[in-house]
Amino acid sequence: MIKLEVFGIGCPKCQATERNASEALRQSGLEGEVELVKDQVQTIKKGIISTPALAINGNVKAMGRIPGVTEIVNWLSELK
């Protein structure tokens, strides 16, 4: 199962990243979950210095921007 983590405080940009991640997961046809991580300690431990950020299976893929659905789908396709 794939785990997508959106790091941020729940701001509109974080919410957009979470929506894009959910839509990308749906489009990819893979089984997984999207989680919003608001814990600043976890964020810092990942080396994230700017939010929103997106990690897939623990690997940070985007930081300080909203990745698009197509971009996330491409990252997910690398896992197949």
- 14 annotated active-site: yes
| Dihedral sign from CA coordinates of 65, 68, 74, 75 | positive
Which of 28, 23, 15, 10 lies closest to 66 in space, CA to CA?
15
Q: One of 3, 9, 11, 42 is an active-site residue; which one?
A: 11
Mean pLDDT within 3-20: 97
The answer to whether residue 80 scores a pLDDT higher than 90 is no
The answer to whether residue 40 scores a pLDDT higher than 80 is yes
pLDDT of residue 57: 97
Write down all domains in the chain, each with its CATH number in brackets. 2-77 (3.40.30.10)
Mean pLDDT within 5-29: 97
Q: One of 14, 25, 48, 76 is an active-site residue; which one?
A: 14
pLDDT mean across residues, the chain: 97
